[in-house]
A and B are shown apart, each in its own frame.
Chain A
Amino acid sequence: MARIIGGIGTSHVPTIGVAYDKGKQSDPAWAPLFDGYKPVAAWLAKQKPDVLVFFYNDHATSFFFDLYPTFALGIGERFEVADEGAGKRPLPPLKGHLELGIHIAESLVNDEFDIATFQDKAIDHGCAAPLPLLWPHEPDWPGAIVPLAINVLQYPLPTAARCYKLGQAVRRAVLSYPEDLKVVIVGTGGLSHQIHGERAGFNNEEWDREFLDLFVRDPARLARLTHADYVRLGGAESVEQIMWLAMRGALEGPIRTLHQTYYLATTTAMTVALYEPESIPASQPAASVEAVL
């Protein structure tokens, strides 16, 4: 049976992809960010998960507002990386896990979670910005993804509580997959940032810290917050942190933090965190929690 061996929370700031493609990994302004991903990449290299289930959002790239799905699961063996206006990125197409994707779709719908599905659509920076920092891609990606897009752009958005429940339903789906696969759940977005209007540039580090703390200890409290709460506390676009709650729902129960990096450089509090369910033995001491301020 498939197993969930961990969870990753990560920002998906498009500039991370730009800096990556320009080779700024050692640039002093960028190194704290890239170095922060190294322990997570090392953990993935050691654990060798077969699949990353990615809760991400499409930034009105492959879906436009004329038909914008609340939840949409990607079905396929490969997904192109999207051109978002600046041309194609030098990344190989992402590998999809066709059978697990189909199984999750069937399980979710039969579980009364009536998602949309998509095929043959490109994946944008919601997934592709952080992925190369987590997994090597030369000559090719070491595993497959199952992308699950969540509407965090056009209100009404799914509530934080609904995203948490989606994660729980994805957990049931993964655990009922007959093949012995190792699965890691990824939730993307945030942390605090606002990138439109005169309030652009808003951050709230105190709230970010509280979010990261509650995320581990008391996610139910985060699930009770309204979108307006997220917008007020973390800035308008930080509402996308409800995608972290989907990942938290899929981990269910107590979790331990194996790694955490927080780097607020310009406009988005760029964060990466690695979690393991308490129900499985620790793969390493929880020692590398760090804060880069």
Chain B
Amino acid sequence: MNPQIAGVEDLVGTYVFDLRTSHRALKLNRFLWSMIQATSREGFVADEDAFMTAAGLSEAEKTLLRARDWLGLIQHGASFFVLEKFARVAKKTNLEIYAIMRGETFDEFMATRRVPECR
């Protein structure tokens, strides 16, 4: 146990991205990371399933991606910082994804923000 993160497990709705998670979900995160390349974006859009298969993803991972299950992907081990690269391809803004992860509609979420027009 890394003493620097002792206690984080008590914070509900927080998922530590450590080497265990990173190792387990390396292929998924590499797939998400690849979306910084225009050729990968084009390849994914042209044939999602073929692209995911070529990336070596498991059926569970493909299902999460097909469903655009943002919270499920985080819980499975995705790093948000590569997930947001995939979100650009999926045409979702970060604010929309925050709302989904919280289990709220976009309008509900924005109503909790101090300057909802700041987007």
Q: Which residues of B contact A66 (CB under 8 A)?
A: 26, 30
Interface on chain A toward B: helix, strand, loop, or mixed SS? loop
Rounded to whole angstroms, the CA-CA distance of A66 and B54 in the bound complex is: 18
Interface on chain B toward A: helix, strand, loop, or mixed SS? helix
Q: Which residues of A contact B38 (CB under 8 A)?
A: 83, 87
Q: Which residues of A contact B94 (CB under 8 A)?
A: 14-15, 195, 267
* A window 14-66: CB within 8 A of B: 14-15, 27-30, 33, 59-61, 64-66
Contact B8 A195 (CB under 8 A): no
Q: Is A1 an interface residue (CB 8 A)?
A: no
Contact A200 B101 (CB under 8 A): yes
Q: Which residues of B contact A267 (CB under 8 A)?
A: 94-95, 98, 113
Q: Which residues of A contact B114 (CB under 8 A)?
A: 264-266
Rounded to whole angstroms, the CA-CA distance of A284 and B24 in the bound complex is: 53
Chain B: which residue is nearest A24 at the CB level?
A: B118
Rounded to whole angstroms, the CA-CA distance of A87 and B14 in the bound complex is: 30
* A window 158-182: CB within 8 A of B: 159
**What is the number of contacts between chain A and chain B, taking CB atoms within 8 Å?**
145
Q: Which residues of A contact B4 (CB under 8 A)?
A: 155-157, 159, 226-228
Q: Mark B18-54, 1 if CB is under 8 A from A, else 0.
A: 1100100010011001011110010000000000000
Q: List 4 additional A-B contacts (Cβ < 8 Å) besides A84-B85, A85-B35, A266-B116.
A: A84-B88, A153-B17, A153-B79, A198-B12
Q: List 26 A-B contacts (CB under 8 A).
A: A29-B119, A60-B29, A60-B33, A60-B82, A85-B36, A85-B85, A85-B89, A87-B38, A154-B79, A156-B19, A157-B4, A159-B4, A195-B98, A196-B74, A196-B83, A197-B13, A198-B12, A199-B14, A200-B13, A200-B101, A201-B98, A201-B113, A236-B11, A264-B114, A266-B113, A267-B94
Rounded to whole angstroms, the CA-CA distance of A86 and B30 in the bound complex is: 17
Rounded to whole angstroms, the CA-CA distance of A181 and B80 in the bound complex is: 38
Chain A nearest CB from B78 CB (Å) reads 9
